[in-house]
């Protein structure tokens, strides 16, 4: 089996990328007709992308032209796109340091733009780069991050491909149970999207996992399902691979039964004119003949395969065919022929080993240089801190010397007066210190209490209980894949709560990601809920910060006290905007409004956001937010408040509620 997992993973990645050299003439026509530099940069980037496999030199030329033009016009998206395509080219060429640099720049650019679909593409390419270096753990981490971004963008096609990539990686790591879970999820999405070829790829990969666990019956079941799909779309490559894998199930124990599968696969590959695939299947045919002790037929197949492999420049396949011919010659008693083929096999193996060693050396060098740069940064920061400390000490000494000089001059004049007032001043100082210490203790107490409350009440225990019930209901209804995805979303939400709870501030983008995931989970229990979470570009570009998880209690209150009992469309909008003094967050819903309360616009720092059916009901999240706003005044030198507006329709009836949170500093 010719590293089946790697072949299918690469095949699927190419399908995701949609690289197609046949599109190049049309793109060149678009380039000639482009009316501005933005369209020209886009056309150049597409040319770079679609020529990566067929003409790498032209791909590099167009990619560099796209990057230069995008940089000149200052188009952030075009710059990131050009770096991403050049990074993919370098990955395919095996240029690891260059690929790493381009893809990291692309990732930073896409993150600044704030489009999760773009970010997902760059993370996926970094995953394949890690896979190319043999770093399976790193590849899984990147694929998982890319899946999170694709989920935020609700991009089902990308989610299916990334789940396939994760499953294929687990197959390579021989963790077949995990592999099947992700591949089954990918298959379910592909079935919803109606893409039979990609469904077939998923089925073959699942069959390979069962085959690796020596369950031939299960493997054949999935292979047959894949064969039917590939046949319906006239996909010769997919049909050939299914037949090839089916033959491998019988090659060792029943080569006669394996031979017809290989011969039918050869017919499919011959239709594609794929020299490498034909060479490989000819090797398998030769192995089947050899197992049947038909050595003459085996030698013909091996020799024909060797010629095709040499023409396709597949060094590894040429090496394997020389070894097969050497083993066949031993069986035929042709010792000199066997020695000749074996020597050529070893020469090619040493060559590949040298290339692998060079790639590993490059990877280790890049890792060392990264660690060295980090150590130098730490040392530089320590030196700067020491320099600032020395400057502060010198300044303090000069200040003390000046104060002493002035004190000596005034000492004689003030000695008598100070003597009389010393007792009174001592008492005042002690009282002031006592008050100051009390304030410090109060602030520390508030901080400790608040951190505990954050961990206990950021997410209502009823919310967690309801989420569990929702997942159980999905499992009972047979929607196991959706239940698993739902629980993974809940797990990610809880992880974000724990991570953010230990920080005083987080970025606006992190708060937005948390709120999107929170509302997405709650929406399963609120049919018809429409939610928008937006922010001013200025806040995202400047990486503006706000207190961690400050907005969630207001959103929870809007969902369950305003929208839960509302009939008809439920709308919720969350907007972060920049002000002259800081950040403003507006949470607006079209719910039932506050049932009591006479002021349409009132600052309520210590009252519930919305009064419930019971008189005197108080919102725990609101009280927590009020305490945090008070703490910010002491600890973060920030001022914060929130204002509630009761929204009315044209007839004066309640039409929802708007909460405006103002943060200064």
Backbone angles phi, psi at 597, to 5 degrees: 105, 125
Q: How many CB atoms lie within 10 A of CB 488?
A: 15
Least reliable range by pLDDT among 162-176, 304-318, 359-373, 447-461: 359-373
Highest mean pLDDT among 12-16, 82-86, 329-333, 418-422: 82-86
Cβ-contact 348, 342 below 8 angstroms: no
DSSP state of 587: E
- DSSP string for residues in 70-134: HHHHT-HHHHHHHHHHHHHHHHHHT-HHHHHHHHHHHHHHHHHHT-HHHHHHHHHHHHHHHHHTT
pLDDT at 266 over 50: yes
Backbone CA torsion sign across 445, 448, 454, 455: negative
Q: Note the pLDDT tens digit of each residue in 249-261.
A: 888 889 999 999 9
* Closest to 304 (Cα-Cα) out of 319, 286, 331: 286
> Quick one: pLDDT at residue 175?
92
pLDDT at 491 over 70: yes
Give Cβ neighbours of residue 145 (< 8 Å, ≥ 6 apart): 123
Percentage of the chain exceeding pLDDT 70? 82
> So what's the architecture of 1-195 in CATH?
Alpha Horseshoe (1.25)
Element (H, E) at 656: strand 654-664
Mean pLDDT of 131-148: 91
CA 588-593-598 angle, 5° bins? 115
Return d(Cα 492, Cα 114) in angstroms, integer.
Answer: 20
Q: Which two tokens stand for residue 627?
A: 């305490």
Q: Note the pLDDT tens digit of each residue in 611-665.
A: 443 434 445 556 666 666 666 555 656 677 889 999 998 888 888 999 999 988 6
Mean pLDDT of 469-493: 86
Which pTM was predicted?
A: 0.50
Mean pLDDT of 590-602: 61
Which residues of the chain are in CATH 1.25.40.10 domains? 1-195
Query: What are residue 366's DSSP bridge partners?
Result: none
Which residues of the chain are in CATH 3.30.565.10 domains? 503-664
Return d(Cα 395, Cα 322) in angstroms, integer.
Answer: 79
> So what's the architecture of 503-664 in CATH?
2-Layer Sandwich (3.30)
Mean pLDDT of 131-149: 91
Mean pLDDT of 236-262: 90
Q: Which two tokens stand for residue 314?
A: 């597949």
Return d(Cα 359, Cα 568) in angstroms, integer.
Answer: 61
> Quick one: pLDDT at residue 448?
57
> Quick one: pLDDT at residue 226?
92
């Amino acid at each position: 089996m010719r590293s089946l997992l790697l072949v299918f993973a690469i095949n699927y990645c190419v399908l995701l990328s949609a690289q197609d050299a046949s599109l190049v003439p049309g793109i060149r026509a678009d380039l000639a007709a482009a009316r501005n530099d933005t369209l020209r940069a886009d056309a150049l980037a597409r040319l770079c992308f679609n020529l990566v496999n067929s003409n790498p030199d032209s791909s590099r030329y167009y990619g560099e032209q796209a990057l230069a033009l995008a940089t000149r016009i200052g188009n952030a998206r075009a710059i990131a796109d050009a770096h991403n395509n050049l990074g993919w080219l370098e990955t395919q060429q095996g240029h690891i340091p260059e690929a790493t640099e381009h893809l990291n720049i692309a990732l930073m650019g896409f993150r600044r733009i704030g489009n999760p679909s773009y970010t997902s593409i760059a993370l996926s390419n970094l995953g394949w780069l890690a896979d190319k270096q043999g770093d399976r753990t790193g590849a899984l981490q990147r694929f998982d991050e890319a899946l999170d971004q694709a989920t935020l963008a609700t991009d089902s096609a990308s989610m299916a491909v990334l789940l396939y990539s994760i499953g294929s990686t687990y197959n390579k790591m021989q963790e077949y149970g995990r592999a099947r879970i992700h591949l089954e999820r990918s298959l379910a999405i592909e079935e919803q999207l109606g893409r039979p070829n990609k469904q077939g790829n998923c089925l073959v990969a699942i069959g390979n996992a069962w085959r690796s666990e020596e369950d031939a019956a299960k493997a054949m079941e999935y292979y047959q399902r894949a064969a039917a799909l590939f046949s319906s779309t006239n996909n010769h490559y997919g049909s050939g691979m299914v037949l090839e894998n089916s033959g491998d199930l019988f090659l060792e124990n029943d080569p006669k039964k394996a031979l017809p599968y290989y011969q039918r696969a050869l017919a499919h590959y011959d239709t594609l004119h794929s020299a490498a695939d034909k060479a490989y299947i000819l090797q398998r045919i030769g192995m089947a003949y050899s197992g049947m002790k038909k050595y003459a037929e085996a030698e013909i197949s091996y020799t024909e395969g060797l010629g095709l492999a040499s023409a396709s420049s597949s060094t590894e396949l040429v090496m394997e065919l020389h070894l097969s011919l050497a083993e066949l010659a031993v069986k035929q008693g042709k010792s000199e022929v066997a020695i000749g083929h074996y020597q050529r096999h070893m020469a090619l193996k040493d060559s590949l080993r040298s290339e692998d060693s060079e790639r590993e050396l490059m990877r280790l060098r890049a890792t060392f240089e990264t660690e060295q740069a980090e150590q130098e940064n730490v040392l530089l920061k320590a030196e700067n801190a020491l320099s600032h400390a020395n400057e502060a000490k010198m300044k303090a000494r000069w200040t003390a010397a000046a104060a002493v000089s002035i004190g000596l001059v005034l000492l004689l004049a003030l000695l008598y007066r100070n003597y009389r007032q010393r007792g009174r001043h001592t008492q005042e100082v002690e009282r002031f210190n006592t008050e100051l210490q009390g304030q410090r203790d109060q602030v520390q107490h508030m901080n400790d209490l608040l951190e505990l409350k954050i961990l206990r009440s950021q997410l209502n225990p009823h919310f967690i209980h309801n989420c569990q019930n929702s997942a159980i209901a999905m499992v009972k209804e047979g929607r196991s894949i959706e239940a698993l995805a739902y629980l993974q979303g809940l797990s990610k939400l809880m992880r974000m709560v724990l991570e953010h709870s230990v920080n005083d501030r987080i970025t606006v983008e992190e708060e937005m990601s948390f709120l999107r995931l929170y509302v997405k989970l709650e929406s399963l229990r609120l049919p018809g809920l429409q939610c928008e979470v937006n922010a001013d570009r200025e806040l995202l570009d400047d990486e503006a910060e706000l207190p961690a998880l400050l907005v969630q209690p207001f959103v929870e209150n809007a969902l369950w006290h305003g929208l839960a009992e509302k009939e008809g469309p439920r709308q919720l909008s969350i907007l972060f905007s920049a002000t002259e003094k800081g950040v403003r967050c507006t949470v607006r819903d079209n719910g039932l409004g506050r049932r009591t309360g006479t002021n349409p616009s009132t600052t309520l720092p210590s009252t519930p956001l919305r009064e419930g059916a019971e008189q005197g009901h108080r919102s725990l999240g609101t009280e927590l937010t009020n305490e945090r706003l008070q703490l910010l005044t002491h600890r973060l030198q920030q001022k914060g408040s929130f204002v509630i507006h009761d929204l009315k329709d044209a007839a004066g009836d309640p039409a929802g509620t708007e909460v405006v949170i103002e943060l200064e500093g």
